[in-house]
């Protein structure tokens, strides 16, 4: 069973999850702050269109979906496809991970 280490402003916790689980669902079920306060009200509910579930990830994940690749090429992520970022709603866990949620609506802050 993979372990996800989740890091954010006031969080540094580890949660276990089933292999192949959707990363967004694992983080939400663990009540971890995947979304900022504003994004909690306006996100696309996992359809890969809003970009507010963007996180930095180190570790084994599924390949980017077409929706994820498309969204990460659009603003505010830029032409590099949100270098280093993944959309949690489009990712399935394939092993131990370290997930970092940065500040800001789209997780692009420091
Ligand atoms: S929840 Fe909207 S892109 Fe992931």
Model pLDDT for residues 6-64, shown as the tens digit of each residue: 999 899 999 999 999 999 999 999 999 999 889 999 999 999 999 999 999 999 999 99
The Cα angle at residue 34 between residues 61 and 42, in degrees rounded to 5:
115
Task: Count structural domains, the chain.
Answer: 1
pLDDT tens column, 56-104:
999 999 999 999 999 999 999 976 667 789 999 999 999 999 999 998 8
Q: Which atom of ligand 1 is nearest to the CA of 49?
A: 3
Instruction: Tell me phi and psi for residue 92, to 5 degrees.
Output: -110, 140
Does any domain span residue 106?
Answer: no
Gap from CA of 48 to ligand 1 centroid (Å): 4
CATH number (domain holding residue 73) = 3.10.20.30
Give a yes or no: residue 93 inside a domain.
Answer: yes
* Pocket of ligand 1 contains residue 50 by CB under 6 Å: yes
For ligand 1, whether the C-beta of 64 sits within 6 Å is no
Domain presence at residue 46: yes
Assigned domain for 51 exists:
yes
Give the domain range for residue 85: 3-100
């Amino acid at each position: 069973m993979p372990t996800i280490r989740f890091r954010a402003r006031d969080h540094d916790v580890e949660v276990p999850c089933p292999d192949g689980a959707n990363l967004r669902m694992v983080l939400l079920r663990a009540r971890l702050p995947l979304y900022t306060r504003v994004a909690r009200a306006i996100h696309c509910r996992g359809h890969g269109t809003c970009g507010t579930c963007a996180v930095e990830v180190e570790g084994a994940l599924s390949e980017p979906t077409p929706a994820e690749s498309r969204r990460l090429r659009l603003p505010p992520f830029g032409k590099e496809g949100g270098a280093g970022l993944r959309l949690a709603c489009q990712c399935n866990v394939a092993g131990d991970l370290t997930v970092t949620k940065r500040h800001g609506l789209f997780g692009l802050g420091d």
